Structure 1
Amino acid sequence: MESGGGAGFLTTVVVLIALLLPVLVLFEAWRSRRVAIADDAQEATLDPVLSTSGMSRKIVFGMVVLTEAFLLLIAYGANEPFRQAEAKERQKEFAVEAAAHTYVQYCVSCHGVSGKGYLENIGLVGKPLATSALQATDPDEHKANVRMITQTLVNGRNAGAMPAWGVENGGPLNYQMINELTIMITEGRWDAVEALAKDKGVMSPTEAPITDPVAAGKLIVTQGACASCHAVSGTAAKGAVGPALDGIANRKIGGVADFNAANVKKWVANPSSLKPGSSMPPYALKESYLDAIAAYLATLK
């Protein structure tokens, strides 16, 4: 924004110079001629060389016009990249606003208002969408996310657990609507969804109490954010960034803390509290979810 403001100021200055230049040139020409020549002088005296054709004034005028054109061209060139960036940003905002309406209509019932899926409400069947992985800023990762989200929306996945929403598969979403949703998800613009949902009085389904902590913990660990870094044999969790969680109940947590429910909850919520400098990110989960994760991990012996 600061760069755009600087370019706007520069453009304004150049335009003002271009507008004032002919006025200043013509005024100076008139002033110098009136000072040097008597008021009752003839035209030939005023312009003895080219008085009959008026060429001197035409040349001056032509030079002024060329200079103005050059200055305006510079102003346009300096401002164009920022104009395009602002236009792109406006288009993105329009896309996000449209996507929020589509999401509230079709997606809230499974993924929740905040896009956290069953991490927001264990009763929701949708996977978390508001994740750092889907909002990656690396260009290659961003392209991969766009492709994956688009294909998932068009064709569905997980044997129908996520239905196909594309019109080519009988769904209600056309290419533009899917593209808008993809922009909103990869940009992490859940603020737009939350604002619209609040305005329309839409809420995520009421969460039922967790009656089976182990099952709930397994869902969170093997299909949530944990699975992107950790693996658990026989589940969908295939992450290879962090250590496999098989046998975790018989190991030190993070290599430093005894395995128990309290330390598991501390580790998930704030790893650095047990191991300063830990590369594992903190996860702000509900207390009931932390209890469920601890209960499930206790079964991995």
Structure 2
Amino acid sequence: MDINLPALFAAVFLLIVLGAVLWYAARVAVPLPEAPPGPPTGALAMERKIIAIVAMIAAMALLFLGYGFREPARQVSAQEQQLDTSIGRGISNFTTLCFPCHGEKGQGAVVPDVTPERLAPPLNRSDLRPTDSDTRTKEYDFIFKTIQRG
């Protein structure tokens, strides 16, 4: 597993900053001689709000960093799953749409139940593998429309 060093440094930095802010808030906090009977107001209430906000921001930062550490592994897993799904769909499409006319390995065959008799060409021809991007796009469109329309 590759460790994402910038994210690790950022996490350590945020923990240090959070610790420093909490330490500072604890050192600066001066308890009142007598606590008022109602909810805290003034400087004490503001200090508690600031501590709560800083803690929430730090928690969110750690949550995002944790997600960032997991992201490369998640992407690899998703890519493998997508490849498996794509291969399965390709096999299904070939079996349904291409196999009856072009044969088991795409070598070409006689088209069944067609009068007059026609031959389905092999699928591994060199003209179906162009190197020019414009020609490749045209061939892709041709094959796509042939499969789509039968």
TM range (shorter): 0.3 to 0.5
